[in-house]
Amino acid sequence: MAEKSKIITLDNGLRIITQKVEGAKTCSLGAWVASGSGYETPETSGFSHFIEHILFRGTHTRSALDIAVEMDEIGGVLNAYTAKEMTCFYAHTLSEHATKALDIICDMLMNPKLDKKDIELEKGVIKEEIALYNDSPEDLCADTFYKSIWSESMLGSNILGTEETVDSVTKEKLEAHMKKFYVPERTVISIGGNFDEETVLDICKKYFSGMVNTDFPLNPDKAEYFPGITTVKRKFMQNQLVIGFPGIPLGDKRREDTLLISTILGSASSSRLFQHLREKLGLVYSVDSFSVSYLKSGVFALSMGLNEKSEKQAIRETLKIISEFSKTVTEKELSRAKEQAVAGFVMDLESISARASRNGRNLLLYGKVISEDDVIRNIRSVTLDNIRTTADDIFDFTKISLCVAGKTKSKKTYKEILDI
């Protein structure tokens, strides 16, 4: 059974959140830093992601091989990811090796070598990643969609950056980025599972107490949403498309509404879109709906993979389902969606890694950890009237966006299909 989480704040503002899990034999831990593509500029696009990569190239006391060997010697997992509003470095180990894993992550963050030869090597690796990304219909379509709806904000930029910005990276530029963003007030250390609390706190204090708070809180500008039609021609075997509307930001009280609307529409095998488009009409191979929320912005979207010949009918059937949703959604569908949402949330927290990740992300973005009981209570308290009102607010067809990647038609044709 998990204990209540504890938050320790160092004098410089860095926060450490711990949560012991009784009987656990492993420990999950990591650092969550408010550095992501949404905070960058056109000139520094992709720098957050580059730093995520380069920190694995070694510190002043450990080489890249040392880091890999030390983690393998304890049978642990060490990885990282970059998102639009954060970068995360995390590890999962047996409990007796938690301090070693934490020491490695802290060393990577505070003593990176940033060797110029390593930087040049990493440029090649990341440019290959960009090339692979552009060969993926799903990734390319999603990235182009975000770029089109948030065209005047870095929130719409590619997390990887561009080949030009990757080529422009220097040691001095990376150091400047880390000096600005890798600061106490924008960093959270999260540790969950079974571990010695006193020891892990000592390690954190050893590495992070000397950091200086720069009074740089998380306060991004709201990204203005631009509706429209965007196409990307590629010789893919199957087209990928995204239909989107303005969504809601983090902290909005309607987040549970949008979660449940998404579940009813397309996030489950019993969902309306899956059953109608795939199972009944056979128009799509895949279909999904999702609500993405950031600190000041959000989007609600539907994505599908399909043959180009099926596009017109699939889009029109989708728009019909969306337009009728608020008037036809039922208590039975809402009840089923609630059970799916609650079950998914509770089952996810059976994982120590998911629990530590949730704590770190919540504390970084919300400034607090929303209790599990409150999350479940909020989901179960959503009413049919809530769903209908929120759906009417979101599905504003004057703000609809469409992005298609593959063997695309003309924008005029898509405009006619959308009837706008």
Q: In the prediction, which pLDDT does 382 show? A: 98
Asked whether the predicted pLDDT for residue 2 surpasses 80, the reply is no
Count of beta carbons in the 10 Å neighbourhood of residue 350: 9
Q: Which residues are catalytic?
A: 52
The answer to whether 6-208 and 228-418 have equal CATH topology is yes
What's the CATH code, domain 6-208?
A: 3.30.830.10
For the chain, give every domain's residue range: 6-208, 228-418
317 neighbors 283 (Cβ within 8 angstroms)? yes
Parallel, antiparallel or unpaired: strands 87-94 and 26-33 = antiparallel
Tokens describing residue 9? 């704040």
Give residue 419's pLDDT: 87
pLDDT cut 70: percent of the chain above it = 100
Nearby residues of 401 by Cβ (< 8 Å), 6 or more positions away:
145, 148, 149, 226, 227, 228, 229, 230, 242, 243, 244, 245
pTM for this structure? 0.95
Q: How confident is the model at residue 397 (pLDDT cuts 50, 70, 90)?
A: very high
**Span 228-418 CATH architecture:** 2-Layer Sandwich (3.30)
pLDDT band at 1 (very low <50, low <70, confident <90, very high): low
